[in-house]
Amino acid sequence: MNLIKTVVFTSILATTVSTAFADIKVGVISSASGPVAMVGIPQKNTIALLPKTIGGQRVQYISIDDASDPTASVKAVNKLIKENNVDAIIGPSGSPNVMAVIGTIAKAGVPLLAPVGTSAAVLPMNPQKKWVFKTTQNDDLIASALVQDMVKRKIKTLGFIGTADPYGDNWNKVITALAAKNGISVVAKESFQRQDTSLTGQALKLIAKRPQAILVAAPGSSAVTPQVALYDRGYRGQMYQTHGAALDQFLKMGGEKVNHTILAASLMLVINEIPNNNPSKPVALTYMNNYKKLYGDYPATFGANVYDAGLLLQRAVPVALKKGKPGTLQFRQALRTALENTKNLAGTQGVYNMTPMDHSGFDQRGRVMIAVLNGHWKLLK
């Protein structure tokens, strides 16, 4: 009898310990090498700052570098799902990469927290995109702020140049529609590949149309190339950039040629000018300071998109654990539903309020207007 009791007790204890310490597996795909490395490196570095336990469960992060290649992103997603049985994936870093993996994650039923710019990842909402949650501002939120500034400056003609990929394509659609609604004519449109080093032809075509302002829609280092090309060929109209240019390397690479650029982006760029009552300021400062302790420098805003993914999981996982165990379809489905119902979660760049139709969840608190003045980011007042 004592032997039976001992066996039963041991079995219960083993089950309890196994359940209590079952890992939640999260894949993280970043472009830590290749053309998008300026975006991907701070994202990969941020993994070390993500929560180690959530809801009493350990979290295991499995990191893969896709070298900025969408085909490699698809392979990485398949590996994480089939071999590692992940419960969620953060990444990839690039918009084309995310668009390439949406079908795969939807078929597997694995939530994807996408730290990318293009709102095409979540809009228009459909059965596949319901598995994607975007940790950056949607294009229309940023674009509306830029167009408002153009209206104030009485700009009537606009030139556009963007990357020939989902990021640039969606920005083309969004800015064209918003400009038309506000009496602004887009008089010239050009595109380019992220890896292009010479944009003389595109610059000359834009300048020939004499737009009062030009918007560049490109992420990371690729945002610098068209603006430098325009400056070198004499263009001195107002330059605008998207949140894709929100990194200090933009200032260093562009130098005086990007002076007076205007963009709408994360408060992290001008954190010291942000009022203390802003709900995102303490979150951003915590992330920035902890990142600097680890790496000796402050992070680019793109790293914050991965940090916010951790905050979203921290809120959603305890809810999902009530419905299923990590590693099961039930848990992943519950996690997706919990993410979709995130309310009033302050992140590094804004406040998340997700809905079934809005998987970004930012309102106007998710952007600030910024200008480049003498090599520094300054809050535009």
pLDDT in tens, 70-128: 999 999 999 999 999 999 999 999 999 999 999 999 999 999 999 998 899 999 999 99
What gap in Å lies between CA 265 and CA 284, rounded to an integer? 14
Rounded percentage of the chain residues whose pLDDT exceeds 90: 91
Return the closest-CA partner of residue 333 out of 344, 321, 349: 321
Task: Mark residue 255 as left, alpha or beta (left: phi above 0; alpha: psi -120 to 50; beta: remaining).
Answer: left
* Residue 316 burial (CB count, 10 A): 27
> Is the pTM higher than 0.85?
yes
Is the pLDDT at 6 greater than 80? The verdict is no
Query: Do residues 63 and 44 make contact, with C-beta atoms less than 8 angstroms apart?
Result: yes
What gap in Å lies between CA 116 and CA 139, rounded to an integer? 11
Please identify which residue in the block is written with the tokens 């975007």.
Answer: 134
pLDDT score recorded for residue 22: 77
Q: What is the mean pLDDT of residues 143-171?
A: 97
Torsion angle of C-alpha atoms 75, 36, 353, 348, degrees rounded to 10? 130
pLDDT score recorded for residue 117: 85
**Predicted confidence (pLDDT) per residue in 304-329, tens digit:** 999 999 999 999 999 999 999 999 99
Is the pLDDT at 244 greater than 60? The verdict is yes
Query: Do residues 304 and 290 make contact, with C-beta atoms less than 8 angstroms apart?
Result: no
Rounded to 5 degrees, what are φ and ψ at 183? 70, 25
Q: What is the DSSP string of 330-348?
A: HHHHHHHHHHHT--SEE-S
Q: What is the mean pLDDT of residues 174-199?
A: 97
pLDDT score recorded for residue 1: 43
**Predicted confidence (pLDDT) per residue in 55-79, tens digit:** 999 999 999 999 999 999 999 999 9
What gap in Å lies between CA 44 and CA 32, rounded to an integer? 7
* Residue 87 burial (CB count, 10 A): 26
Is the pLDDT at 257 greater than 60? The verdict is yes
Query: Do residues 352 and 312 make contact, with C-beta atoms less than 8 angstroms apart?
Result: yes
**Predicted confidence (pLDDT) per residue in 275-309, tens digit:** 999 999 999 999 999 999 999 999 999 999 999 99
pLDDT score recorded for residue 15: 41
**Max Cα–Cα distance, the chain, nearest Å:** 94
pLDDT range class, residue 3, cuts 50, 70, 90: very low
pLDDT score recorded for residue 381: 85
Query: Do residues 231 and 203 make contact, with C-beta atoms less than 8 angstroms apart?
Result: no
Q: What is the mean pLDDT of the chain?
A: 94
